[in-house]
Structure 1
Amino acid sequence: MVTTEEISLKNELIRLLKDVNCVKFGDFTLASGKQSKYYVDIKKATTNPKVLKAAAKLVNYYVSKENNENLKIAGVELGSVSIATAVSLETEKDLLIIRKKAKEYGTKNKIEGELNPGDNVIVMEDVTTTGGSVSKAVDEIRAVSGNVKKIYVIVDRQEGAKENLAQNNVELIPLVTIEELGLNK
């Protein structure tokens, strides 16, 4: 059941995303390789403290209704680290940073932060199209016995990510869909 608090938090995030003018029009190639007539310039949003705070509050609203035992908040470098950090601060849950490739020096870790076998992990993502990029992070976490059941994304382009991730037993929870930003999918 949708509550007035959820609606209020979501509407605030939508307003802020529109205020930072993060949707651009033209001819773009997306990370998925797809061509698009619009681009969600999410870095304009995720470098804005008001947007980060609004997103973190909405995720905290959802997370607070669940079992939070051994919960970690993960973000994939570079795009999702600021989001995951904001959510970690809001929820007071430990932060994990998932590297795209392991460091070649020091600890050579691919996952930064303390992740123990059996820990529950929520992965944060900035934008999803097909879900391919974030799916790799899920695989990395699961490879070291972390449990990933949910991914929260600031903007879902509604082009298959939800369905693709469901095949990997992960629920994609968009904070905002591209339709809610006023575009047709």
Structure 2
Amino acid sequence: MTEAKASLIDKMLESGAVLFGHFVLSSGKESDYYINVKKVVTDPEALETIAELIRALTGEKGIVFDRVAGPELGAVPIATAVSLRTRKPLVIVRKKPKGHGTGSQVEGDIEEGDKILLVEDVTTTGGSVLRAAEVLESLGARIAAIAVVVDREEGAEERITSKGYAFLPIIRVSEILERKETVKGQESD
């Protein structure tokens, strides 16, 4: 594990971005832990680390993209930071088309054939990010890859890759839980 990734996980644990208890997720699944990446993306240093980890991972995997997109709300700051880091234009995907003005579901320009790096904060089943991918593709874009800050390892990877998309998780939930146990063990020594 890189130092930047370990530092980000520590920041998530310290900030209360990882909570334990009983939670119902946006997928409808129940869980004994909740990951609120929004808690860390409000910290400029953590957000910068996330953007750099995504930039580095796309470079390492040879992912070429023209634009960075994120579905509202949780992924917007992440997509913005990655856009700034990579100097690629930003696209925001709304959950539903606007009820006024142009009625658009997307903010930002997309040209036919644009390769999009789609980013998400957390994936469980992948449903939300796949809906965003469909919206972008309906406008003529192609998804270069889907990058996620935390994969809960509950089927998103399989579902996303089965659609033919490259899946780039920065952190897997097993790494967070392992790091939590390591830190807990060091504190009790």
Q: TM-score, normalised by structure 2?
A: 0.88
Query: Quick one: distance in 2 between partners of 1:68 and 1:171?
Result: 12
1:67 deviation in Å? 5.5
What secondary structure, in the 3-state scheme, does the structure 2 residue paired with 1:68 have?
coil
Does residue 55 (structure 1) correspond to residue 38 (structure 2)? The answer is no
Partner of 2:12: 17
TM superposition shift of 1:129: 0.4
Counterpart residue identity of residue 38, structure 1: Y
**Partner in structure 2 of residue 7 of structure 1:** 2
Q: Which amino acid aligns with 1:167?
A: S
In 2, distance between residues paired with 1:168 and 1:149? 12
Please say if 1:119 is aligned against 2:114. yes
Q: 1:1-185 residue pairs with structure 2 within 5 A?
A: 7-65=2-60, 66=62, 68=64, 71-182=66-177
Where has structure 1 moved over 3 Å in runs of 4 or more? none
Q: Give how far 1:68 is off.
A: 3.4
Matched to 1:155, the amino acid is V
* RMSD of Structure 2 on Structure 1 (CA): 1.7
The answer on whether the counterparts of 2:145 and 2:166 sit within 8 Å (CA) in structure 1 is: yes
Q: How many correspondences in the alignment?
A: 178
1:126–1:155 Cα contact (<8 Å) kept: yes
Q: Displacement, 1:61?
A: 1.0
AA in 1 matched with 2:64: N
Q: Which moved more, 1:74-83 or 1:10-19?
A: 10-19
Deviation per CA, 1:123-149: give whole Å up to 9, x if none: 110000000111100101111110103
Write the letter of the residue equivalent to 1:162.
E
Counterparts of 1:30 and 1:64, CA distance in 2: 32
Larger radius of gyration: 2
Identity among equivalent positions (%) equals: 39
Structure 1 residues 167-176 or 24-33, which shifts more?
A: 167-176
Q: Which has the higher helix share?
A: 2
Unaligned runs of 5+ in 2: 181-189
For 1:68 and 1:169, the matched residues in 2 are separated by: 16
> Normalised by the size of structure 1, how large is the TM-score?
0.90
